[in-house]
Structure 1
Amino acid sequence: MPNTRAAIGSTRRTGLRLGAVLLTGTLLAACSGSSEGASGSGGDGGTVTLTVDLFGSFGYEEAGLYDEYEDLHPGITIKQTDTQDEQDYWKSLQTRLAGGGGLADVQGIEVGRIASVTQQQADRFEDLTAYGADALESEFAPAKWSAATTPEGAVLGLGTDVGPQAMCYRTDLLAEAGLPTDREELAGLWATWDGYLELGERYMDTAPDGSAWIDSVGSLYAVMIGQEEERYYDAAGELIHEDSPAVRTAWETSARAAGDGLSAALDQWSPQWNQAFSTGAFATLPCPAWMLGYIKGQAGEAGQGTWDIAALPGDRAGNWGGSYLTIPAAAKQKEEAYKLIEWLTAPEQQAKLFRSQGHFPSATGAIEEIAGTTDPYFSDAPIGRIFGDAAQEAPVQVLGIHDKSIADQITNALSEIERKGTEPGKAWQNAMKGIDNVLG
């Protein structure tokens, strides 16, 4: 699920600048973020249970990192809860933050929400510099670090991953439809988004029964908007969503895909969407790095070798998602929670997570280490190179406090087009009304 550089001055800004991942910056000493060998008992010899509440698939359990941490820290037990849909997770988190109860020791925050946290809710989260986090700044891409820092200098989260984008596709379905399956050839055919839609029309002419070109036009919109620097806010922090050329282009392209019948019309993270990974309901999937682990989890062993990855359409790379680990002010085990998130976000663990689950590192020390990584599940695709190149080329994005909420309303309106046949102009009006309601 979830990948940011804000130029933070002395005054608050509505928009934070987010780099999908900026690979500039000093590579760090590998072990400086690790807390291996430290006692996990909190100093009293007893057992400490740390609660972790996340959304989507962070991959820590799947990669065995919790088990490793517990082995290294006798007396620590980690219990994770998660919600697949980030919108549901965020709503629940807001309710619990307002009431002060029911919060975990560690809470995940999606990058599209981090400006809301730093600008509106800083008092509800721990300043991690109180636990020594300021010593870690050089370990992270500058954009990732800055986005979780308040204008006053409080650091409210440690970065997990970022979301450089590519296109995942089903080689077996494309072959059955008589289309090329080579990743370099496909990247040439869909060098533009028009080319991508045209290839989709060819696919639909000969597609296997029950298979569409893409999972949903909402995912198409998300990946296109992730290629843009200014989307919903401009560099001055002003809302521009209604007149943004980037938003309009992504909207019109997505509406065209819906009108051409290229979409399976599946809501991402829904049970139906999850099932579609194993039924062949769609041939291509816009694919930030963190999606790789999710595909593996849903398609299972039967999917190995049927998926591959190619460069993204369009004239630039992009970023979609990335996350942070935070500690609520109401957490019960703050000291031990900090030790855990410091360890989980250290370069060594971020490199392990990429190799296992595809989550691209925000820790600069891990990026060089994973450059040559390939993935046998995805037909031995050179994922280190594909996503590394995308990370280097992605634009620095302007983020604001309502980014995720605005995107959600537009995605909901696109769903109306593909599910209900709503006329695009009417659906756009509905999106703008929904945004006005959210913004108040």
Structure 2
Amino acid sequence: MRHQLRRAIAATSAVAAAGLVTVACGGDDSADGGKTELTIATFGEFGYEELYAEYERLNPDIDIVPHTTGQGGPHHQAMFTKLGAGSGLEDVVAIEEGHMPEALGKSSRFHDLSEIGPSDVGPDRWLDWKYESGQDKDGKLLGYGTDIGPLAMCYRKDLFEQAGLPSDPEDVKALFETWDSYFEAGDEFIAEVDDVAWFDSSAQIFNAMQNQLDVGYFDRQDNLTIESNPTIRQNWDEVTDAAARGQSAGLVAFSNEWNSGFTQSAFATKTCPAWMLGVIEEQAGEDLAGEWAVTDAFPGGGGNWGGSYLAVPTQSEHPEEAAAFAAWLTEPEQQITAFKAAGAFPSQVEALESPDLLAATNEYFGGAEIGELFAAQAQKVGEAQYKGPGDGKIQENAATPALQSVEQGASPDEGWQQLVQSAKQIAS
């Protein structure tokens, strides 16, 4: 999942091994001249550093104490451990979308932001599907939406030309119109270009397809649907069939080998949420500047991968102040600032209409108008898919390993049974 804007780069760095600092949930109000201390826990790169200083300038009675972990996994593990212990959590905590279902299952441990937050912060601030994904089944609002990861498709223009495929961002759209057309183009590509796969990883493709379904791994009664929803198996068969025909590079996403795959031209296309552009530029390097392109097309119409929320645990000693701080960080103007600082694509309706955002371009991707492109892709995301408790764990700890086992020689049926059994264990 992770995703995670340019924070995905941080996940592969040495600093990623660092754990969260364990602190009390609120600071001593008598410290620093009686100021209220607000702690905030994030991971990777949210683009908030300048904003912390600005908030303190606007609110002289507030001291912001940030705690940042390089990698999302340790961040969330520490957060849920502290949540269970009933102490040690910060006043504001960032929760990545893949871990939000688990947080929603523990909604009693968080404040309802619609009750304690500023009165002028309403649902109309966000895209509908982003706001809805921050609510539990009873409508309690656990998190203010930060960034999102609307999906487009990135590809290597030079490799497409080598295969005799169209390479202009407008001309390639037909290749990425549906999953059938995508896999058909993959067959054409690998028939013409030796030693280059069509995509990086079966799991990356399968997870994108899974997130497009009306009903995911769970229905709204939290029943596991992996055996009752035939579309999940159909997606599995499509992906594993394509891999069997040689379309997958068989790389583990965000591993060292996957990172090297960009420079070694191991694959020609990449599922591309907004934050992935930074990852590609970082890993592919200057030698491939202009060879990577991005188009506002995605098989099946679109989707979202990544993005986070800011929540206020009931442990906070300053819940209203914390909610006001989280609300300010997610205002349109601040979301634009975070986008400029770290590539965190806004989830706010007003921010998505901002000329400042819409004018954004990316020279590495040939001057692509990425602000306008991803704003349009964000509008293509429909109703939020319900994510039951354990949804993210199934994606990360069941589907991904099962698909890797198929890429390493297991039969698709064996991999499917591995997925089903692992999903049942997670859901039980």
TM-score for both structures, normalised by structure 2? 0.80
Per-residue CA shift, 1:325-384, capped at 9, x if unaligned? 112333466555434322221111222334554433221111111344332232222323
Question: Helix, strand or coil for the counterpart of 2:268?
Answer: strand
Correspondence for 2:267 = 282
TM-fit CA distance, 1:180:
2.9
**Matched AA of 1:145:** Y
Correspondence for 1:183 = 169
Per-residue CA shift, 1:34-55, capped at 9, x if unaligned? xxxxxxx999636777554334
Q: How far apart are the structure 1 equivalents of 2:403 and 2:184?
A: 20
Q: Does 1:397 align with 2:384?
A: yes
Which has the larger displacement, 422-431 or 357-366? 357-366
**Matched AA of 1:362:** S
TM-fit CA distance, 1:144:
2.6
Indicate if the aligned counterparts of 2:224 and 2:427 stay in contact, CA closer than 8 A: no
Correspondence for 2:10 = none
Which has the larger displacement, 212-221 or 131-140? 131-140
Question: Helix, strand or coil for the counterpart of 1:166?
Answer: strand
Question: Helix, strand or coil for the counterpart of 1:241?
Answer: coil
Correspondence for 1:385 = 372
Q: Compared with structure 1, are the counterparts of its residues 435 and 237 closer, same or farther at alpha carbon in structure 2 (3 Å cutoff)?
A: closer
TM-fit CA distance, 1:389:
2.8
Q: Compared with structure 1, are the counterparts of its residues 415 and 186 closer, same or farther at alpha carbon in structure 2 (3 Å cutoff)?
A: same
Per-residue CA shift, 1:398-421, capped at 9, x if unaligned? 312232123231222111111x21
Correspondence for 1:38 = none
Q: How far apart are the structure 2 equivalents of 1:307 and 1:382?
A: 14
Question: Helix, strand or coil for the counterpart of 1:250?
Answer: helix
Q: How far apart are the structure 1 equivalents of 2:359 and 2:231?
A: 33
Correspondence for 2:413 = 425
Question: Helix, strand or coil for the counterpart of 1:148?
Answer: coil
Question: Helix, strand or coil for the counterpart of 2:68?
Answer: strand
Q: Compared with structure 1, are the counterparts of its residues 51 and 171 closer, same or farther at alpha carbon in structure 2 (3 Å cutoff)?
A: farther
Q: Does 1:416 align with 2:419?
A: no
Indicate if the aligned counterparts of 1:133 and 1:155 stay in contact, CA closer than 8 A: no
Question: Helix, strand or coil for the counterpart of 1:169?
Answer: strand
How many residues are paired up?
Answer: 397
**Matched AA of 1:164:** P
Q: How far apart are the structure 2 equivalents of 1:162 and 1:310?
A: 18
Q: How far apart are the structure 1 equivalents of 2:224 and 2:350?
A: 35
Correspondence for 1:11 = none
TM-fit CA distance, 1:169:
1.7
Question: Helix, strand or coil for the counterpart of 2:270?
Answer: strand
Question: Helix, strand or coil for the counterpart of 1:366?
Answer: helix
Indicate if the aligned counterparts of 1:346 and 1:363 stay in contact, CA closer than 8 A: yes
TM-score for both structures, normalised by structure 1? 0.78
Q: Does 1:223 align with 2:212?
A: no
Q: How far apart are the structure 2 equivalents of 1:431 and 1:159?
A: 31
Q: How far apart are the structure 1 equivalents of 2:30 and 2:165?
A: 59
Question: Helix, strand or coil for the counterpart of 1:108?
Answer: strand
Indicate if the aligned counterparts of 2:100 and 2:134 stay in contact, CA closer than 8 A: yes
Q: Does 1:265 align with 2:250?
A: yes
Correspondence for 1:330 = 315
Q: Does 1:406 align with 2:391?
A: no
Q: How far apart are the structure 2 equivalents of 1:328 and 1:355?
A: 29
Correspondence for 1:195 = 181
RMSD: 3.2
**Matched AA of 2:181:** G
Q: 1:161 aligns with which of 147, 159, 169?
A: 147
Q: How far apart are the structure 1 equivalents of 2:33 and 2:284?
A: 43
Aligned counterparts, 1:10-409, within 5 A: 45=33, 51-55=39-43, 57-60=45-48, 64-66=50-52, 68-69=54-55, 76-84=63-71, 86=73, 89-118=75-104, 120-129=105-114, 131-137=116-122, 138-150=124-136, 154-207=140-193, 211-234=196-219, 238-331=223-316, 334=319, 337-355=322-340, 357-369=342-354, 370-399=357-386, 400-408=388-396, 409=398
Per-residue CA shift, 1:222-254, capped at 9, x if unaligned? 111222222223466543222323312321122
Unpaired runs of 5+ in structure 1? 4-40
**Matched AA of 1:182:** D
Q: Compared with structure 1, are the counterparts of its residues 177 and 45 closer, same or farther at alpha carbon in structure 2 (3 Å cutoff)?
A: farther
Q: Compared with structure 1, are the counterparts of its residues 68 and 299 closer, same or farther at alpha carbon in structure 2 (3 Å cutoff)?
A: farther
Unpaired runs of 5+ in structure 2? 5-28
Per-residue CA shift, 1:234-277, capped at 9, x if unaligned? 46654322232331232112212321222222222323333433
Per-residue CA shift, 1:171-190, capped at 9, x if unaligned? 34434555432111111123
Q: How far apart are the structure 2 equivalents of 1:266 and 1:71?
A: 46
Q: How far apart are the structure 1 equivalents of 2:38 and 2:285?
A: 29
TM-fit CA distance, 1:302:
4.9
Q: Compared with structure 1, are the counterparts of its residues 317 and 151 closer, same or farther at alpha carbon in structure 2 (3 Å cutoff)?
A: closer
| Identical positions, percent | 38
Per-residue CA shift, 1:56-85, capped at 9, x if unaligned? 554445xx5456556656674543423435
Indicate if the aligned counterparts of 2:129 and 2:381 stay in contact, CA closer than 8 A: no
Q: Compared with structure 1, are the counterparts of its residues 44 and 373 closer, same or farther at alpha carbon in structure 2 (3 Å cutoff)?
A: same
Question: Helix, strand or coil for the counterpart of 1:114?
Answer: helix
Q: How far apart are the structure 1 equivalents of 2:255 and 2:56?
A: 32
